[in-house]
């Protein structure tokens, strides 16, 4: 018997949910950054290890490429757009809810930071994790979404390989 799988002409429920999640992450990030820019004149200590402290990063993670000037801003923006496009294509094709959610977190975070980079020339950061005088680089909600999304993508990749590996072991014995 031959089974013909239907071709997908548009996004399914999983893709629509994933695109909605990406838009929500980018939107929440922009709202949080707007509040930070308008109301964080001085740092606010929330706990002994968490503060809200306004900062701006013209580069990428940990301030890399911060001194690259206006040309660097446009190169970083172009690379970000390519990454977002590739992840959106992946979301379009995936049938895995975890992969769709994970890629959506990365897309939403990347889009949130891209909007800042294009509007202000730098990404607005405001979350300061520290222990005593040792500070982690200040970050934002978009950065947190990207880290969580990458972590979920790694977990999804690990889980997708686990059943295949155990099936191969069963066949070998």
Active site residues: 125, 143
Residue 15: name the closest of 101, 83, 73 by CA. Answer: 101
Q: What angle do CA 123, 63, 116 make, to 5 degrees?
A: 10
Tell me how crowded residue 71 is: count the other CB atoms within 10 A of its CB. Answer: 8
131's tokens:
């222990």
CB contact set of 148 (below 8 Å; sequence gap of 6+)? 105
The single-letter DSSP state of residue 10 is: S
What backbone phi and psi angles, to 5 degrees, belong to 48?
A: -65, -15
What SS3 class is residue 106? helix
The single-letter DSSP state of residue 94 is: -
């Amino acid at each position: 018997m031959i089974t013909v799988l239907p071709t997908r002409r548009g996004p399914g429920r999983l893709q629509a949910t994933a695109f909605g999640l990406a838009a929500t992450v980018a939107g929440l990030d922009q709202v949080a950054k707007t509040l930070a820019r308008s109301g964080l004149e001085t740092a606010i200590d929330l706990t002994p290890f968490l503060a809200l402290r306004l900062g701006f990063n013209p580069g990428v993670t940990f301030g890399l490429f911060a001194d690259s000037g206006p040309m660097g801003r446009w190169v970083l923006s172009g690379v970000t757009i390519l990454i977002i496009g590739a992840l959106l294509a992946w979301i379009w094709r995936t049938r895995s809810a975890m992969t769709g959610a994970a890629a959506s977190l990365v897309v939403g975070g990347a889009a949130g930071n891209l909007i800042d980079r294009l509007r202000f020339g730098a990404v607005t950061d405001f979350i300061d994790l520290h222990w005593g005088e040792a500070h982690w680089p200040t970050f934002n909600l978009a950065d947190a979404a990207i880290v969580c999304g990458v972590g979920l993508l790694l977990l999804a990749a690990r889980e997708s390989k686990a059943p295949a590996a155990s099936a191969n072991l069963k066949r070998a014995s």
